[in-house]
């Protein structure tokens, strides 16, 4: 529909704009941080100045993290993909997650057997997973159940035709995070991937979590989808193209993931 097209164009424009700004901003930050570090390393500087330099450095690093997330959204980051197993990845992140989520949330994992291998930047997938789990936690203030699931999925022509984003039909390994939280009304779900879009209070949310995940998934030739029902909960599904270990081992970097059988 034309509304979907407008939304896609808007995302593209926002991506280009934020990517450009983030890139230039990061260059300036590098200079600020280098000078703060030079003061910190200088033994002849009196302590009260060192203290201020430390504050500059701390704030600069926070800003640097923000620009990193913006660059991720605009797909300008360098990815280091490797053959990975999503079940493996969920297992490694599991401990950290349980600690982050707290006592009042029950965590359930459903791992598919014989999950297809994928070719992705592992730390980025872990960051994405953690981002989704933090959102799920925030949506379940009164407690609830969080389910992390992996599955082999074949996306049909029919399915891809219905998606706003361009996605190739074919075989994907899916990683999803479901919560039994507040859910999202359609207007919020539509805007959720926009950078800086947040419904959380100042200081709680940056509105960059999902936009970062979105940028990363798109750059990985994957697909992301949110289904949600107000009062019942939300499921976010990330799809990564099935990879053939032999293909990934080949010297030339693959630009486009090819679905099997094509």
Q: Which residues bind ligand ADP (CB under 6 A)?
A: 135-136, 139, 179, 181-182, 184, 188, 192, 197-200, 205-211, 234
Task: Choose between 64 and 147: whose C-beta lies nearer to ligand ADP.
Answer: 147
177 has which bridge partners?
Answer: 148, 236
In order of 82, 126, 128, 202, the CA distances from 85 in angstroms are 10, 12, 15, 37
Taking Cα atoms as reference points, which of 89, 83, 66, 78 lies closest to residue 212?
66
For the bound state, the minimum distance from the C-beta of residue 60 to ligand ADP, rounded and expressed in Å, comes to: 21
Query: For residue 89, what is the enclosing H or E element?
Result: helix 86-101
180, 142 in Cβ contact below 8 A? Answer: no
For the bound state, the minimum distance from the C-beta of residue 111 to ligand ADP, rounded and expressed in Å, comes to: 21
For the bound state, the minimum distance from the C-beta of residue 19 to ligand ADP, rounded and expressed in Å, comes to: 17
120 has which bridge partners?
Answer: 82
- Return the structure tokens found at 4: 């979907």
For the bound state, the minimum distance from the C-beta of residue 104 to ligand ADP, rounded and expressed in Å, comes to: 16
- Return the structure tokens found at 203: 């200081």
Task: Choose between 150 and 211: whose C-beta lies nearer to ligand ADP.
Answer: 211
Task: Choose between 84 and 180: whose C-beta lies nearer to ligand ADP.
Answer: 180
For the bound state, the minimum distance from the C-beta of residue 241 to ligand ADP, rounded and expressed in Å, comes to: 24
Task: Choose between 234 and 243: whose C-beta lies nearer to ligand ADP.
Answer: 234
Task: Choose between 238 and 257: whose C-beta lies nearer to ligand ADP.
Answer: 238
> Please, which residues have CB within 8 angstroms of residue 66's CB and are 6 or more apart in sequence?
206, 208
């Amino acid at each position: 529909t034309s509304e979907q097209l407008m939304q896609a164009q808007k995302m593209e424009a926002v991506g280009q704009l934020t990517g450009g700004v983030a890139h230039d901003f990061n260059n300036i930050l590098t200079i600020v941080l280098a000078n703060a570090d030079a003061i910190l390393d200088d033994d002849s500087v009196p302590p009260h100045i060192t203290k201020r330099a430390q504050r500059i450095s701390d704030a600069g690093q926070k800003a640097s993290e923000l620009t990193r997330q913006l660059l991720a959204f605009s797909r300008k980051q360098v990815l280091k993909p490797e053959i990975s197993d999503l079940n493996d990845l969920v297992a490694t992140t599991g401990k950290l997650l349980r600690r982050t989520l707290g006592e009042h949330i029950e965590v359930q994992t459903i791992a598919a057997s014989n999950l297809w291998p994928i070719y992705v930047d592992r730390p980025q997938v872990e960051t994405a997973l953690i981002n989704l789990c933090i959102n799920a936690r925030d949506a379940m203030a009164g407690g609830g159940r969080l389910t992390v699931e992996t599955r082999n999925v074949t996306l049909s022509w029919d399915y891809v035709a219905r998606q706003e984003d361009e996605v190739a039909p074919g075989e994907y390994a899916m990683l999803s995070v479901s919560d039994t939280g507040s859910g999202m009304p359609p207007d919020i779900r539509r805007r959720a991937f926009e950078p800086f879009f947040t419904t959380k209070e100042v200081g709680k949310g940056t509105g960059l979590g999902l936009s970062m995940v979105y940028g990363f998934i798109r750059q990985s030739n994957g697909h992301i989808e949110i289904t949600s029902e107000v009062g019942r909960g939300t499921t976010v599904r990330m799809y990564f193209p099935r990879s053939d270990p032999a293909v990934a081992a080949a010297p030339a970097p693959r630009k486009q993931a090819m679905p099997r059988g094509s």
